[in-house]
Chain A
Amino acid sequence: MMKPSSAQPLQPVLSADPVVQDAAGRAFADLAAGWFRSETSPSAGATHQQRRQTLLQAVIDLGFADALPSPEAREAWADAAVIVRAQARAAAPIDMAVLLVTGDRPASIAQDPELYECPASIDEPGNANAASALALGRCLQICAAMEAALDLSLQYVQDRKQFGRPLAKFQVIQHSLAIAAEEVAASAALTDLALACMAREGCTSARLPALLDAAAVVLGHAIDVVCDASHQVHGAIGFTREYALHRHSLNLLRWRDHLHLLRGGELRCAERLGDAALQAQGVWRTVTVLMKSGDSHD
Chain B
Amino acid sequence: MNFRFPVFDLPAEAEALRIEVREFIAGEQRAGLWRRGGDFATHYDPAFSQRLGARGWLGMTWPRQYGGHERSMLERLVLSEELIAANAPIAAHWIADRQSGPLLLRYGSEAQRREFLPRIARGEIFFSIGMSEPDSGSDLASVRTRATKVDGGWRINGQKVWTTFAHLNHYAIVLARTGDAGESRHEGLSQFIVDLKAGDLKVRPIVNMAGQREFNEVIFTDNLVPDERLVGEPGNGWRQVTSELAYERSGPERYLSCIRLVEATLQCARSNPTPRIREALGRMSAKLMALRSMSISVAALLQNGEMPNLEAALIKDLGNAFEREQIGVFRGLRTELDQPSAEYLAALAETTLYAPSWTLRGGTREILRGIVARGLGLR
Nearest CB of B to A17, in Å? 12
Nearest CB of B to A149, in Å? 11
Report yes or no: A282 in contact with B263, Cβ–Cβ below 8 A: yes
B225 within 8 A of A: no
Within 8 A of A (CB), among B309-331: 314, 317-318
User: With A178-B369, A291-B289 in contact, is A13–B1 under 8 Å at CB?
Assistant: no
Report yes or no: A3 in contact with B305, Cβ–Cβ below 8 A: yes
Report yes or no: B266 in contact with A282, Cβ–Cβ below 8 A: yes
Segment at the interface with A among B5-13, B33-41, B196-204: B5-13
A65 within 8 A of B: no
**What residues of B have a CB within 8 angstroms of the CB of A13 in the complex?**
6-9
A290 to B289, CA, bound (A): 9
Report yes or no: B7 in contact with A186, Cβ–Cβ below 8 A: no
From the candidates A9, A151, A278, name the one contacting B269 in the complex (CB within 8 A). Answer: A278
From the candidates A1, A174, A186, A270, name the one contacting B291 in the complex (CB within 8 A). Answer: A186
User: With A5-B71, A282-B263 in contact, is A177–B376 under 8 Å at CB?
Assistant: yes
Report yes or no: A181 in contact with B314, Cβ–Cβ below 8 A: yes
Report yes or no: B285 in contact with A274, Cβ–Cβ below 8 A: yes
B273 within 8 A of A: yes
B263-289 vs A: 1/0 string, CB under 8 Å? 100110110010101111111111111
User: With A6-B303, A211-B289, A292-B10 in contact, is A186–B318 under 8 Å at CB?
Assistant: yes
Segment at the interface with A among B91-99, B143-151, B293-301, B338-346: B293-301
Report yes or no: A174 in contact with B289, Cβ–Cβ below 8 A: no
**What residues of A have a CB within 8 angstroms of the CB of B1 in the complex?**
147, 150-151, 181, 184-185
Report yes or no: A10 in contact with B303, Cβ–Cβ below 8 A: yes
A149 to B189, CA, bound (A): 42
Which residues of A are interface residues toward B (Cβ below 8 A)?
1-6, 9-14, 16, 147, 150-151, 154, 157-158, 168, 171, 173-175, 177-179, 181-190, 192-193, 195-196, 211, 213-215, 217-218, 267, 269-278, 282-284, 286-288, 290-293
19 A–B pairs (Cβ distance < 8 Å), ordered by A: A2-B106, A4-B302, A5-B63, A10-B303, A12-B8, A12-B300, A173-B378, A174-B379, A175-B370, A177-B373, A182-B317, A182-B318, A185-B314, A186-B287, A187-B290, A217-B287, A271-B275, A273-B286, A277-B282
Which residues of B are interface residues toward A (Cβ below 8 A)?
1, 3, 5-11, 15, 18, 61-63, 70-74, 85, 102, 105-106, 244, 259, 262-263, 266-267, 269-270, 273, 275, 277-294, 297, 300, 302-305, 314, 317-318, 366, 369-370, 372-373, 375-379
